[in-house]
């Protein structure tokens, strides 16, 4: 009868033997294995062509979304081979990022610090200042403080933070005394910028500082940094030249610093999965990885996809780490509670 499948069990409609579950979906199984190898060997992806390796590592966690897609396709194809092959990327992804998914925060912090790229184009710097002051942090580090908005931040934060220093476009506000504030030469270079008309594109001043915060537990050395911008374009690929030079200089400065307790607060314009930051992560560890809950993405503020704003520490223990609500900036602020 027309429209009725009369093929015997175990055969397709053409009368051929139907492939078993281990022979169906071999292409899907191959894709699963390739995905696992891709995640496992991401550090081997070369940077010679358009900084492809760094670009992949910037968004590396998101490749995990391929796993449920391949799983759904494997179930639809009733392919045991595809489903089993997905164990490889699932295990590798869990090894890379599974530790970020649990809540590692603890109570008992001695000091709370906040870092925020406030954005030169921020239309409400006063509101941003109020939001940051409401965090209750003892130390605020701001990046991309424009000359036009500097006075607004100084006025709005003066009552809660009587001690502050601004050098170029980076600044620190503190409830505790500051001393020895100085510029840090990170080979100032904002990198290639597509929109040369924006105020952010014209900001080529001082982009890093070092200061000492006096606390009841002793002195704390604080670095505030805003590394060079990065761009993706057809000609250069993932263009990171200025940022990469900045991170090398910053890594060298911190390596030469003999301070026992160090905190780096800043917009690093990159994730810590990016191999470029190996020099920093060899000296400092991430508060988010040690004491956060989740990935802590910070950019872009409306729909964060990457954590490019970092709090890194040495000689102190992160007790908690979190992302604050969006302000008028295109970045979200990050916070951490640290303990001696």
SS3 string, 115-169, reads EEECCCCCCCHHHHHHHHHCCCCCEEEEECCCHHHHHHHHHHHCCCCCEEEEECC
Domain C-terminal end among 100, 133, 149: 100
Distance of CA 40 to the CA centre of its chain: 20
Q: What is the CATH number of the domain that holds 322?
A: 3.60.10.10
The answer to whether residues 288 and 316 belong to one domain is yes
242/119 same-domain check? yes
10 occurs within a structural domain: no
**216 with 270, same domain?**
yes
Q: What is the pLDDT of residues 39-63, one digit of tens each?
A: 999 999 999 999 999 999 999 999 9
| pLDDT computed for residue 242 by the predictor | 93
> Are residues 184 and 303 part of one domain?
yes
Tell me the pLDDT tens digit for each residue of 138-174.
999 999 999 999 999 999 999 999 999 999 999 999 9
Q: Please return the burial class of 102, using the count of CB atoms within 10 Å of its CB with bins 0-12, 13-18 and 19+.
A: exposed
Question: How far is 333 from 325, CA to CA, in rounded Å?
Answer: 7
What is the C-alpha to C-alpha distance for residues 310 and 288, in angstroms, rounded to an integer? Answer: 8
Task: Note whether 32 and 173 are same-domain residues.
Answer: no
In a domain, 77, yes or no: yes
Nearest CA-CA partner of 161 in 141, 189, 138, 144 = 138
pLDDT value, residue 64: 97
Residues 79 and 118 in one domain: no
Of 335, 340, 292, the closest CA to residue 138 belongs to 335
Judgement on whether residues 283 and 201 belong to the same structural domain of the protein: yes
* Whole-number pLDDT of residue 113: 98
- Examine the domain organization and report whether 57 and 132 are in the same domain: no
Q: Cα–Cα distance between 240 and 29 in angstroms, integer?
A: 35
Angle, alpha carbons 206-209-211 (nearest 5°): 155
Whether 200 maps to a domain, the answer reads yes
82 close to 70: Cβ distance less than 8 angstroms? yes
Task: Note down the domain range covering 62.
Answer: 26-100
Is there a single domain that holds both residue 151 and residue 237?
yes
Same domain, 121 and 195: yes
Give the pLDDT of residue 189. Answer: 45
Q: Angle at Cα 293 formed by Cα 292 and Cα 298, nearest 5°? A: 80
* Domain boundary pick from 100, 119, 135: 100
Q: How many domains does the chain have?
A: 2
In order along the chain (340 residues), what is the average pLDDT of each group of 10 residues?
50 60 91 98 95 97 98 96 97 97 95 98 97 98 98 98 98 98 79 43 72 97 97 89 96 97 98 97 98 97 98 98 98 98
Same domain, 36 and 85: yes
Contact 288, 334 (CB under 8 A): yes
| Residue 16 pLDDT | 55
**274: helix, strand or coil:** coil
Residue 4 in any domain: the answer is: no
User: For residue 20, is it within any domain?
Assistant: no
Co-location of 67 and 145 in the same domain: no
Of 72, 100, 128, which one is at a domain's C-terminal end?
100
- On whether residue 105 sits in a domain, the answer given is no
pLDDT for the residue 22: 85
């Amino acid at each position: 009868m027309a429209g009725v499948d009369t093929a015997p069990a175990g055969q397709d409609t053409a009368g051929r033997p139907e492939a078993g579950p281990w022979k169906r979906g071999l292409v899907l199984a191959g894709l699963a294995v390739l995905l696992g190898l891709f995640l496992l060997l991401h550090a081997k992806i070369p940077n010679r062509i358009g900084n492809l390796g760094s670009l992949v590592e910037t968004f590396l966690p998101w490749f995990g979304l391929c796993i449920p897609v391949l799983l759904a396709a494997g179930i639809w194809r009733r392919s045991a081979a595809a489903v089993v092959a997905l164990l490889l990327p699932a295990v590798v992804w869990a090894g890379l990022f599974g530790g970020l998914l649990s809540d590692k925060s603890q109570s008992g912090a001695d000091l709370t610090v906040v870092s925020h790229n406030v954005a030169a184009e921020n239309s409400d710097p006063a509101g941003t200042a109020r939001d940051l002051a409401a965090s209750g942090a003892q130390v605020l580090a701001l990046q991309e403080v424009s000359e036009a908005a500097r006075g607004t931040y100084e006025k709005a934060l003066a009552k809660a933070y009587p001690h502050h220093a601004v050098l170029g476009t980076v600044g620190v506000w503190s409830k505790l005394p500051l001393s020895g504030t100085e510029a840090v030469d990170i080979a100032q270079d904002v990198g290639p910028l597509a929109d040369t008309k924006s105020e952010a594109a014209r900001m080529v001043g001082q982009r890093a500082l070092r200061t000492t915060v006096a606390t009841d537990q002793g002195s704390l050395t604080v670095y505030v940094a805003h590394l060079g911008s990065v761009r993706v374009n057809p000609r250069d690929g993932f263009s990171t030249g200025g940022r990469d030079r900045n991170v090398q200089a910053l890594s060298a400065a911190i390596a030469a610093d003999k301070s026992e307790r160090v905190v780096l607060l800043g917009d690093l314009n990159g994730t810590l999965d990016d191999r470029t930051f190996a020099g920093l992560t060899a000296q400092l560890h991430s508060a988010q990885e040690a004491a956060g809950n989740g990935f802590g993405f910070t950019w872009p503020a409306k729909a964060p996809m990457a954590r490019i704003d970092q709090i890194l520490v040495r000689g102190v223990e992160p007790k908690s780490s979190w992302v604050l609500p969006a302000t008028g900036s295109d970045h979200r602020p990050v916070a951490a509670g640290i303990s001696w």
